[in-house]
């Protein structure tokens, strides 16, 4: 049997809920209006974040010419840059796909957008937890140092 390579990549996924349940959550004009504004703000934030990334990159490059403790700063800048870029990229993808979903009423695009939103929140949450752990370690270290 000849395989059909022209079918969509998510063709198999469509059947999971092809039939609408009367209780299913609906994408009403009100929801689309909210999504439209969210996508506009999201794109604006991500563009701003990308600009900030470019600025950080410039600072990182200029730190290469500095002497002394610049390597530690460089490492911190690169880590900050990587975090900010990932954050901006996820936000941009979410907003872009949500905008597409609003413009063409495309459920697949909406789904891709929500996957990116979930990743964005997961990423931010993990970062926050990591920050708390680091703060805790630093505080503990300070208490131990003050005791000595």
Partner 1 sequence: MEGNILYSSEKRDYATLSMYQEWRTTAFWAKMIAVITYVFLSLAALAYLLILIALYFEGEGPGSLFDDLAVNSIVIYVISTIQIPLYFIINTFLFRFSKSLRTAVEGKDQEMFENAWLNFRNYFRWLGILAIISIVLSAIIASLLYYIISTIKIDIPSIW
Q: Does 148 engage in binding with partner 1 (CB under 8 A)?
A: no
Binding letters toward partner 1, positions 113-142, x by CB under 8 A = -xx-xx--xx-xx--xx--x----------
* Site track for partner 1 across 18-57, x = CB under 8 A: --xx-xxxxxx-xx--xx-xx--xx-xx--x---------
Q: What is the DSSP letter of 14?
A: G
Cα–Cα distance, 112 to 27 (Å, whole number): 16
The 8-class DSSP code of residue 68 comes to S
Least spacing, CB of residue 5 vs partner 1, in Å:
9
Distance CA 148, CA 119 (A): 44
With contact defined as beta carbons under 8 Å apart, do 56 and 81 qualify? yes
Cβ within 8 Å of residue 117, ≥6 positions away: 94
Q: What is the DSSP letter of 69?
A: T
Nearest-approach distance from CB 13 to partner 1, in angstroms = 7
Binding site for partner 1 (CB under 8 A): 6-11, 13-14, 16-17, 20-21, 23-28, 30-31, 34-35, 37-38, 41-42, 44-45, 48, 104-112, 114-115, 117-118, 121-122, 124-125, 128-129, 132
């Amino acid at each position: 049997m000849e395989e059909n390579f022209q079918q969509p990549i998510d063709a198999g996924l469509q059947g999971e809920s092809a039939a609408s349940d009367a209780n299913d959550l609906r994408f009403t004009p009100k929801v689309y209006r909210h999504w439209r504004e969210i996508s506009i703000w999201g794109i604006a934030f991500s563009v701003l974040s990308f600009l900030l990334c470019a600025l950080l990159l410039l600072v990182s490059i200029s730190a290469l010419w500095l002497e002394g403790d610049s390597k530690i700063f460089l490492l911190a800048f690169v880590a900050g840059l990587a975090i900010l870029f990932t954050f901006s990229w996820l936000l941009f993808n979410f907003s872009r796909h949500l905008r597409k979903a609003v413009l063409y009423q495309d459920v697949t695009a909406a789904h891709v957008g929500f996957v990116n939103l979930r990743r964005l929140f997961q990423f931010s949450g993990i970062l926050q937890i990591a920050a708390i752990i680091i703060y805790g370690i630093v505080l503990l270290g300070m208490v131990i140092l003050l005791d000595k």
